[in-house]
Amino acid sequence: MDITDNETTVRIAAMREVIKKLRSDNLSEGHCFMILDDEPPEDQAYYEYPDGSIRIEQLNNGSVDLPRIVIRHLREDEIAAVKEKHEVFR
């Protein structure tokens, strides 16, 4: 089955909209939203919170009660850079 460039473009756009909705839903329900990025080390990711803060967190495989460890909170300028870089914020 061949997928044309147009079909691929439509599918990618649809996936982006699903991710944006998932982010919006999670935040509006009081949950955080994980943003994958190449900048933090492999076992870390950005987590956006409903209050607008973004933290770098690392998985904590040794604890069910505390599944992630906060590495650090991003400053406002760093948050702006993350938002500029990732399409989910547009």
Contacts 24+ apart (CB under 8 A), 48-55: 48/23, 52/79, 53/79, 54/78, 54/79, 54/82
Of 7 and 4, the one with more pLDDT: 7
Q: What's the domain count of the chain?
A: 1
Position 13 scores a pLDDT of 93
User: What is the per-residue pLDDT across 20-42, written as a single tens digit (0 to 9) for each?
Assistant: 999 999 999 999 999 999 999 98
- Give me the domain span that covers residue 68: 5-89
Position 57 scores a pLDDT of 96
User: What is the per-residue pLDDT across 32-76, written as a single tens digit (0 to 9) for each?
Assistant: 999 999 999 988 999 999 999 999 999 888 888 888 999 999 999
Q: Is residue 1 scored above 60 in pLDDT?
A: no
3-state secondary structure (DSSP) of residue 41:
coil
- The mean pLDDT value of the chain amounts to 93
